[in-house]
Amino acid sequence: MAFDDDGDLWVSNAVSGLIQEYDSDGILLGSTAALDEPSDITWHDGALYVAEHGTSRIIEVNPTDYGTSEWIEVALGDNPADLYDLAFAPGGALVVTGGGTSFRVDTDHDLHAFAGTAGANTMQGVFFRGDDCFISVGPRQIIQISGPF
């Protein structure tokens, strides 16, 4: 879930595949066409970004007409990343988690794996506080990586 600048709530629904917008009274304002297992969503520079778990793509949503377009496909070699969560760093780079790896997507859409955990099934949950990045690893561990990113 993520709030836009107008206070509307945007929700990703992995079951239906929809990204839905609700106003402050809980009224559905609109939705995207179905995506393939959307997981996390975040706002950056007036656009909504979606981690599409089913295809390992980052999707950009136009908030005016709910249109979608592929922003980047995230993979390590030929292996899709099983995307879960995403967040923009203060400098504008996007950090996404998938499988046992975290990726940094810079402003030129170049992809860099920067953190991984041997034996971890998933790295889920990413959050920035200043230049520090916090990533949830498994059920009981959070790693902190100092930036800038």
Q: Within this chain, do residues 147 and 130 fall inside the same structural domain, yes or no?
A: yes
The pLDDT assigned to 80 comes to: 60
Q: Within this chain, do residues 65 and 97 fall inside the same structural domain, yes or no?
A: no
For residue 20, what pLDDT band results from cuts at 50, 70 and 90? very high
Q: Within this chain, do residues 51 and 97 fall inside the same structural domain, yes or no?
A: no
Q: By residue range, what is the domain housing residue 36?
A: 1-73
Q: Within this chain, do residues 103 and 38 fall inside the same structural domain, yes or no?
A: no
Q: Within this chain, do residues 53 and 3 fall inside the same structural domain, yes or no?
A: yes
**Rounded to an integer, what distance in angstroms lies between the CA atom of residue 28 and that of residue 139?**
33
Count of structural domains, the chain: 2
Instruction: Give the domain-ending residue among 51, 73, 95.
Output: 73
Q: Within this chain, do residues 56 and 123 fall inside the same structural domain, yes or no?
A: no
Q: Within this chain, do residues 2 and 39 fall inside the same structural domain, yes or no?
A: yes
The two three-digit tokens of residue 24, written as one number: 């402050």
The two three-digit tokens of residue 31, written as one number: 């939705």
Instruction: Give the domain-ending residue among 73, 100, 125.
Output: 73
Q: Which domain CATH number covers 28? A: 2.40.10.500
Higher pLDDT pick, 81 / 84: 84
Q: Within this chain, do residues 136 and 99 fall inside the same structural domain, yes or no?
A: yes
- Residue 104 one-letter amino acid: R
Lowest mean pLDDT among 5-19, 35-49, 82-96: 82-96
Chain centroid to Cα 111, Å, comes to 14
Instruction: Give the domain-ending residue among 47, 73, 99.
Output: 73
For residue 111, what pLDDT band results from cuts at 50, 70 and 90? confident
* Residue 147, CA distances (Å) to 25, 76, 87, 108, 116 in order: 39, 22, 14, 18, 16
The pLDDT assigned to 85 comes to: 87
Q: Which domain CATH number covers 83? A: 2.40.10
